[in-house]
Amino acid sequence: MKALERFLKYIAIPTASDEKSTVTPSTACQFDLSRHLAEEMIAMGLSDVSVDEHAYVYGFIPASPGLEEKKAIGLIAHLDTVAGFEEKPVNYQIIEHYDGGPIRLGESGKVIEPSRFPHLKRKVGKTIVTTDGTTVLGADDKAGIAAILTACEQLLASGKAHGKICVCFTPDEEIGHGASLLDLKRFGADYAYTVDGGGPEDMEYETFNAAGAKWEITGFEVHPGSAKDTMINASLVAMEINSMLPAGQTPRDTSGREGFFHLCAISGDVSRTVMEYIIRDHDPKLFELKKQQMKSIAHQINCKYGDGTARLTLTDQYQNMAEIVCRYPEILDIARQAISDVGLTPQSHPVRGGTDGAQLSFRGLPCPNLGAGGYSFHGPYEHLVAEELDQSVQVLLNVIEAFSKR
């Protein structure tokens, strides 16, 4: 089966996660894809295939005779898609021989403009898959799943000798829980690669350090006609807190390794207002400084308006996996060569986000990320380049072959 054919089957199965849920998987629909993949893996010839109580899918290709002592390589992708579009089916469109112009997304009125997405200039002549503009596509990360299983199928059909291959598909990556319950002993890999986004030339191993910040602001509500020196308007205090953060350190104003404070949500009234931020920085010292800035603001606000006015809760989410992965240069060297061998120039950019690999690396499984031909995730402009999905399959096969020879 071709990788694109697989991908189109997977995106027909809704799997949006839910950050408000307290269980794993956060949505029962993720089991639908888990069970489908398990059946496909069994039919393909993988061994010890299973779906656990949290929707993790495990499967293995045993080492060829004589190669049992080679490093076991893990391949990982996630089942879930970003929340917000789960109530609509994915209606895709395929643009063959892309001409380099704007791509209209069905009747939605949305257009993928090359001026906004400059990488499209390099995709002329290729096959582009998009939605009708009313949903995400699901290339994040069903393209990764398709690439992994197509590589497994081709490996089994080729008869080539190889070391042990360990496959796992995880739930809830989009809400930061994807790697937390992956059973590393059961998985059994020495090294692993997530296949989660970006072009086939991408090899990512540097992520943000990440934390969440929740502000709960308690006001003092009285009649506005007699509020002089008495009222504390929680919504105005929230605005004051945001104004105390460093100017120019928002996602819109930063790039590369520059960190930011991102106000994700705000709600409330005079008596109570809640704000939720994420804090990001590649540099661990600057990351800690950002958290200290938040704490300092909380102290100043409570000194000004009274203890208990502002309650700040900081929650660390993940760390920069470069700290771990760079201790194992061989997994990066092999990935670079695997990409070069398909005629591409390897690219390594700091990830302005996180992957399952960040958590897994700090849990003891070094795990950089490879691309699968998807772009512009987390919104209706998401798209996939079919030829690049095929190249990603070949990159994975090259990685497997390289480890079999070491």
For this structure, is 80 an active site residue? yes
CB neighbour class for 50 (10 Å; exposed up to 12, middle 13-18, buried from 19): middle
Judge whether 197 and 79 are in contact, CB under 8 Å. Answer: no
Residue entry with tokens 């999905």: 389
Judge whether 16 and 27 are in contact, CB under 8 Å. Answer: yes
Q: Which one-letter amino acid corresponds to residue 161? A: A
Q: Of the residues 40, 80, 204, 281, which is catalytic? A: 80
Closest by CA position to 273, among listed 220, 212, 211: 220
Judge whether 121 and 9 are in contact, CB under 8 Å. Answer: no
Closest by CA position to 57, among listed 85, 35, 83: 35
Q: Of the residues 18, 132, 141, 173, which is catalytic? A: 173
Q: Where are the alpha helices (DSSP H) in 162-216?
A: 184-187
CA-atom Rg of the chain in angstroms: 23
**Parallel, antiparallel or unpaired: strands 57-61 and 111-112:** unpaired
| Residue ranges with strand state E in 239-376 | 260-268, 272-281, 310-318, 369-370, 374-375
Closest by CA position to 353, among listed 152, 132, 158, 196: 196
**CB-based contacts of 197, cutoff 8 Å, min separation 6:** 139, 140, 141, 143, 144, 369, 371, 372, 374, 377
Q: For 6-70, give the DSSP string.
A: HHHHHTTS--B--TT--SSSSSTTHHHHHHHHHHHHHHHT-EEEEE-TT--EEEEEPPPTT-TTS
What residues are annotated to the active site?
80, 173
